[in-house]
Amino acid sequence: AKKQGGGSFSFFSEELRRELDHRKQLEHDIRIAISEKEFQVYFQPQVSLSNGSISGIEALVRWTHAERGAIAPGEFIPVAEKCGLMPEIGRIVIAKAIHEAADWNRDGIAFGRLAVNVSGSELREPDFDAFLFDTLQKAGLPPEKLSLEIVESVILDDEKTGIAAKLRHIRAAGVHLELDDFGTGYASLSHVNPNEIDRLKIDRRFVQKINENGDNTKIVRAITELARGLGISIVAEGAETEAELNSLMALGCDQVQGYSIAFPMPQEKAREWLVARAP
Ligand code: C2E
Ligand code: CA
Ligand code: CA
Ligand code: CA
């Protein structure tokens, strides 16, 4: 370590060191979690606001650390991205989710479409599309039953890295594509092309307290009108209350996902939920 002069600088450097130690430890634990198969998948349903039918179900990674207990994706995903482990974790999650959805499909359990989150680092892997097609085929899930949730910034990162071409290839096979966290990025409108995108997902920051917050109401109304004009469907994320659901319905939002409908659930629970919900 370097010799420091000022007290404040040495305090800062102490903080930084702790931060680095923490990240190193987490990185080490993530590697163990991969080999020990500690990553699990939870599922959170999405329902149609017009008739209550199930329109989709999102797969969300979960990690229960042997000593620390549950660690949120918001804590470990940034570290996994920094140390290049996210593509590996992503494939574990995607494969598990696709196999589970294929089982539902075979058992005649309606789930709409399975939605999986895919980050830029996962998509940039040269064989991501091959992995996806191979997994769908092995599991026996039709590509039409799958949707990829991708944030805007990744879609913008297009031609040079070959992501755009890869996404077109994946979509041509029948897989749906959607813009996740819509409204939080930039240059959104130029990238909302109905020939490339099937669904917009409104981030929960615009959905929460929408009934009390006039600005959120305006934003959601604008996004909903944009989507309707373009013929793209729309799902609102993070609706926690009946009042939020009612506001979303009044604004003409197609679908909703959130604690007011269901929490993310482990696979057995998700299956029971889907079966109980079926008409
Ligand atoms: P996201 O894609 O925006 O996912 C929605 C997040 O909102 C999830 O957090 C979900 O549990 C949470 N949520 C759903 N309904 C409600 C609600 O009514 N109220 C509140 N307060 N929260 C709600 P989670 O599971 O912690 O995931 C955080 C983020 O981590 C996700 O945000 C996504 O960006 C990323 N992520 C999760 N799983 C995966 C994965 O398998 N692969 C990749 N690449 N990213 C993932
Ligand atoms: Ca998502
Ligand atoms: Ca996200
Ligand atoms: Ca979000």
> How do residues 204-256 score in pLDDT, each as one tens digit?
999 998 988 899 999 999 999 999 999 999 999 999 999 999 999 999 999 99
What pLDDT, on a 0 to 100 scale, did the predictor assign at position 207? Answer: 95
Task: Provide mean pLDDT across the span 66-94.
Answer: 96
**Residue 160 confidence (pLDDT) above 80:** no
Given a cut of 50, whether residue 62 has pLDDT beyond it is: yes
Does the pLDDT at position 30 exceed 70? yes
Q: How far is the CA of 181 from the centre of ligand 1 (A)?
A: 10
CA 127 to ligand 3 center in whole angstroms: 23
Of 30, 116, 117, the residue with max ligand 1 atoms within 8 A of its CB, to mutate for a pocket test, comes to 117
Closest CA to 47 of 260, 266, 265, 269: 260
Average pLDDT, the chain: 91
Alpha helices by DSSP H, 107-213: 120-124, 128-139, 152-156, 163-172, 204-207
Total H helices, total E strands in the chain: 11, 10
pTM metric for this prediction: 0.94
Percentage of the chain lying above the pLDDT 70 cut: 92
Q: What is the mean pLDDT of residues 102-127?
A: 96
Ligand 1 centroid from CA 60, angstroms: 6
**Predicted pLDDT at 162:** 82
Instruction: Return the residue whose CA atom lies nearest to atom 24 of ligand 1.
Output: 73
Q: How far apart are CA 235 and CA 142, in angstroms?
A: 22
Check if 173 has its Cβ closer than 6 Å to any atom of ligand 1. no
The b-or-e profile of 231-246 (16+ CB within 10 A means b, else e) is ebbbbbbbbeeeebbe
The residue whose CA has the least distance to atom 22 of ligand 1 is 238
The residues pairing with 45 across neighbouring beta strands, listed in sequence order, are 57
User: Residue 1 has what pLDDT?
Assistant: 42
Residue 131, ligand 1, Cβ within 6 A: no
Lowest mean pLDDT among 1-15, 119-133, 260-274: 1-15
Whether residue 92 has its Cβ less than 6 Å from ligand 1: no
Whether ipTM tops 0.85, in short, is: yes
Q: How far apart are CA 96 and CA 41, in angstroms?
A: 7
pLDDT > 70? residue 3? no
> What was the pLDDT predicted at 155?
75
Mean pLDDT, residues 90-111 taken together: 98
